[in-house]
Amino acid sequence: MTSERGNFYAFISFNIALLLFLGSNGPFLFADSQEYLSMSPLRAPVYPIFLYLLKLLSAKYFLHIAVFIQVGLTLFAARHLCGQLRRKLDWSLPVALFAYLLMLLPLFHFSDCALCLYIGNTIATEALAYPLFLLLCAAALRALWEPERKPLLLMAFLSAFGLLIRPQLIFTYPLTLFVIFISGRRKTWNATQLAPVLGAFLVFSGLAYLGQRTYNGFIRNPFLKQELLATVLYVSEPKDAELFASHRDSETVKKIFSRIESQNAFLAQKTNPTQPVSSHYTRNFDPICWGILHQSMAEDIGPEVTTPERFSRMDSVCGDMLRVLAPRKIPQLLKLLAIKLWTLGLFPLLAFAGYILSLLFTRDVSGEEKLFVQAVWVLAASNILLVAFSAELLQRYLFYTNMLMCVSLATILSHWQKGELRLQPYGFGASAKVLNFH
């Protein structure tokens, strides 16, 4: 008992010291921070409103207060998820601490650490999105492991609420559907009992959409279509401009294609055979998206129109170009997607291979552990595919699931510590049971 109390006090002291250390570093602002501070209607509402309320509390120190709250929420959420994993997967204290420290890596800033993004101090949506993501994972795992409706409803609510913090968190929707599907398959709930949960999920999602649209004044946001179009333009060719000869914005489209061609930014213009396609794409994505595409549309629309009208016309141009180009470029887009996943998403693939390899050398794998790793890979796959289709595979977008995949590898450490890492007598016995839910 004395030892447990000592560990508890040491853990609390460590977290308080960490909170004070990170909080004392103050806020870090980057390019998008001003849009949250100015409550731009093109952003998700929760984080700007969060900063606004803190500013009412203290106009001078509200950003410093935000940092302490952001770091504190991440510490709390990481402790909650890690504690749940330790109880259900029977992790020892060292393994649990290892997983806990992995969850905290995004709070730090080390140049050689891919997961260290300094999110607690950064004035950005990630600061609230990450702790919510951890709490969502905890609710989802509890819903998988325990036959209670409350965690199912909490998971559905957090998944929908996440869209109001950071729309990227829509990648958690497949996890919510996965948990509901597994609950029905394992006979935890019958269809009649699951129907209200699914209905609540749809209602929460509808309310989140309505909340976002109300906050932005029903202004059409062109940026998602613009990012998608930038990738489609990258795999296009200069002659594709002819497809828009009779379009009402044909001059704008012609200008866009001409500028991309002049900068040798089309994939077809890659002349260096030793340069990887992924490198050429990464170097040209931002210039196409925010330099050529955005600026060309803004110039032709003109400064005299109102902001809602400007964005509406941009959204219309991007939508029209996507409808014409995207169906014609499906093979090129799929090839680019495969290249991006292989070269820029190699880390997740290696992590997954590491876990599967561990199963080959582990005698016993619990049902809870199988469900945990399945949930991790549902999240990872949906996040990677979402980002790969719409933007560059940057750590800012992938750290949520990359961190969780690292935590899933803690199961290897747990089995090794218990002396259970030894070759299966029948080779692939454990791996053959990975998808067995019983």
Series of mean pLDDT values for 10-residue runs along the chain (438 residues) = 77 95 94 91 93 95 97 96 89 88 94 89 96 95 83 93 95 91 70 82 94 86 89 94 91 94 93 87 92 91 83 92 94 88 62 54 60 83 84 84 84 65 41 32
Tens digits of per-residue pLDDT, 35-61?
A: 999 998 889 999 999 999 999 999 999
85-109: burial string, b at 16+ Cβ within 10 Å, e else: bbebbebeeebbbbbbebbbbbbbb
Question: Which residue matches tokens 């709390």?
Answer: 76
Tens digits of per-residue pLDDT, 88-144?
A: 888 888 888 999 999 999 999 988 888 899 999 999 999 999 999 999 999 998 988
CA distance 246 to 258: 17
Residue 120: what are its φ and ψ, rounded to 5°?
Answer: -65, -30
Question: What pTM did the predictor assign?
Answer: 0.86
Nearest to 66 by CA among 111, 114, 126: 126
Q: Hey, what are 54's tokens?
A: 């803190």
Whether residue 7 contacts residue 94, with contact meaning beta carbons closer than 8 Å, is answered with: no
| CB neighbourhood size of 48 (10 A) | 19
Write down the pLDDT at residue 296.
92
